[in-house]
């Protein structure tokens, strides 16, 4: 497995990562992993690689865009001295184009999204062993649905940045699409974006496969 004994893994993102984590306790105290894929990753590493003693820290913040994550990156991520970092961000960058237009909020286009990711990577890659870039997901059957189409365009930006910095790219959306050939999205989510436990299991499996947990 890629994660060495005593490694420190910080998992960053938005509400899908946050997933009701406890902000009041120090990292790795009970309930700080939240109820989602981060907790599944931690539990799997503890159960199936017990000799590694891998520290998993959830640093997702609900509502974050790539801009928000960039602003808090040094304080919330790099001060934790991670060996490995995972990033799942972008669903809010896309979603705001569809649910916040009348609020006249600042909308993050693909160029700005690209710039935000590059800045995060520039701050991080020299100081850690690997940065895992995970695609955000939608549980959507209609591949022509406008928000889904835009999300895949932003996923292409994530892939491009991963290639540019020679870091692992994890296409979670493709794994979700494969599952939806057999099950309806409502088996995994009520709003197409925030997964239930089976949905989070898919995301966790994507990450665990990438690090080579058997």
The single residue of 39, 114, 194, 200 carrying the catalytic annotation is 194
Residue 194 bears catalytic tag: yes
Q: What does the block give as tokens for 201?
A: 């299991």
Residue written as tokens 């001060």? Answer: 79
Q: How far apart (Å, rounded) are the C-alpha atoms in residues 112 and 54?
A: 34
Q: Residue 188 — φ and ψ, nearest 5°?
A: -125, -15
- How many H-runs (helices) and E-runs (strands) does the chain carry? 8, 5
The single residue of 15, 39, 66, 171 carrying the catalytic annotation is 15
Residue 62 bears catalytic tag: no
Residues in Cβ contact with 122 at an 8 Å cutoff, skipping those fewer than 6 apart = none
Q: Residue 61 — φ and ψ, nearest 5°?
A: -135, 120
CB-count burial class (<10 Å; 0-12, 13-18, 19+) for 94: buried
The single residue of 51, 166, 184, 191 carrying the catalytic annotation is 191
Edge-to-edge strands, sheet with 8-13: 55-60, 8-13, 84-88, 130-134, 169-170
Residue 39 bears catalytic tag: no
Catalytic positions are 15, 191, 194
């Amino acid at each position: 497995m890629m994660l060495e004994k005593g490694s420190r893994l910080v998992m960053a993102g938005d509400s899908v990562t946050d997933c009701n984590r406890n902000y009041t306790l120090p990292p790795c105290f009970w309930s700080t992993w939240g109820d989602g894929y981060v907790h599944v990753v931690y539990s799997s590493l503890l159960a199936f690689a017990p000799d590694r003693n891998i520290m998993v820290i959830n640093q997702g913040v609900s509502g974050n865009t790539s801009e928000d994550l960039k602003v808090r990156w040094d304080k919330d991520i790099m001060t934790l001295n991670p060996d490995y970092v995972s990033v799942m961000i972008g669903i809010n960058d896309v979603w705001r184009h569809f649910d916040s237009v009348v609020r006249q909020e600042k909308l993050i286009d693909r160029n700005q999204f690209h710039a935000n990711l590059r800045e995060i990577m520039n701050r991080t890659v020299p100081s850690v062993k690997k940065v895992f870039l995970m695609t955000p997901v939608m549980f959507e059957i209609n591949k022509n649905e406008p928000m889904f189409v835009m999300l895949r365009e932003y996923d292409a930006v994530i892939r491009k940045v991963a290639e540019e910095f020679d870091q692992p790219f994890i296409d979670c959306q493709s794994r979700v699409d494969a599952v939806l050939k057999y099950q309806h999205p409502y088996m995994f989510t009520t709003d197409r974006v925030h997964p239930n436990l089976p949905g989070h299991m898919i995301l966790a499996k994507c990450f665990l496969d990438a690090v080579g947990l058997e």
